[in-house]
Homo-oligomer: A and B are copies of this chain.
C-alpha cells in the first residue's frame, strides 16, 4: 500500500515537480517523467523498469483508483488534493485529475537491448527521424499492442518519455523497452549482427506488405512522414510498400507502423 497524504497548498514543495507540467517538458526533467491519467498510471504501476516516485490525484478519485494505487510500493506517497488544487499545480484544468512522477530507467545501449532478444523470434521497431510526439506516442501504442519486443531510436528521434508522447501511447512507452543509437552508429550492421532481418517501409518498396512472407526475426524500419527513410539505409534492407489509392498515397506513420507490426505478428 502506498502512503496517502492530504495536500492543500499548490506551492507545497513536495509536489514541485508537478508544477506547470506543460512548460517543464520543454526544459527537461533530469531523469524523471510525468504520467497522466488512469490508464497510464495502471501501466506505470504494472511495470518495473521505471520507478514511481509519487502520485498526485484529485481526492475524489481515490476510491476508483484504489485497485491501481494499492499495487504501488509502500514508500510511494500519494498526494490527495482538491481538484482546484490539482489544476493550480498543473497550470491548466486537468479534468482527469491524475498525475504521477517517476524516475526513468537507465537506457540500455542498442546492442545490449538486442542481445537480450537472441535465439528466439523477435519483432523490433526501428524509428528514424520521428520528431513529432503524437507520432512517437502512436507508434509506441502500436508497438505495445502488437507485442513488439523492443524499439530502437535513431539520434534524431524525439524523447518517448515526453509527457504528450506517454499520454498518446496510452502507456505503451512504459511497456516496450527502447534504446537510442549513438551518433554515427551503423544501424543495419547492428541489426545484421544480431540476426534481425531489416525491413524498411517505403512508398517505393518492392514487396507489397500483404505479400510479405513471415519473418521470424524482423526489424521494422520507419521514417518520418515526408522525408521517409534515407536511400542509403533502404538500399541495405528488404523494402516493403503499402498499396494505396491513386492520388492519395498518404498514411500517418503510426498507422503504417501498425499495419506492418500487425502483418508480421499474424503472417504465416
Contact = CB atoms under 8 A, between A and B. Distances in A.
Nearest to A144: B248
Given A141-B252, A146-B244, 13 more contacts: A142-B252, A142-B255, A145-B249, A145-B250, A145-B251, A147-B248, A171-B248, A172-B248, A209-B266, A210-B262, A210-B263, A255-B258, A258-B258
For this chain, the copies found in one complex come to 2
Interface in A6-44: 39, 43
A224 interface: no
Interface in A159-176: 170-172, 175
A138 interface: yes
A254 interface: yes
A242 B142 CA distance: 12
A54 to B, nearest CB: 24
11 contacts: A138-B252, A141-B252, A142-B251, A142-B255, A144-B248, A145-B244, A146-B245, A147-B245, A209-B262, A210-B266, A254-B255
Interface in A132-153: 138, 141-142, 144-147
Interface string A227-263: 0000000000000001111011111101100110011
B39 A170 contact: no
A216 B254 CA distance: 28
A265 interface: yes
A170 B243 contact: no
A208 interface: yes
* Residue from the set A245, A249, A255 with the largest chain B CB neighbour count within 10 Å: A255
Contacts of A266: 208-210, 243
A250 B141 CA distance: 8
Interface residues of A, number: 36
- List the 10 closest A-B pairs by CB distance, nearest first: A147-B245, A210-B266, A255-B258, A144-B248, A145-B244, A170-B250, A145-B251, A255-B255, A259-B262, A145-B248
A209 B266 CA distance: 9
Nearest to A137: B252
Given A258-B259, A259-B258, A259-B259, A265 B251 contact: no
A63 B31 CA distance: 46
A175 B248 CA distance: 9
A43 B142 CA distance: 29
Nearest to A255: B258
A243 B262 CA distance: 8
Contacts of A267: 210
Contacts of A142: 251-252, 255
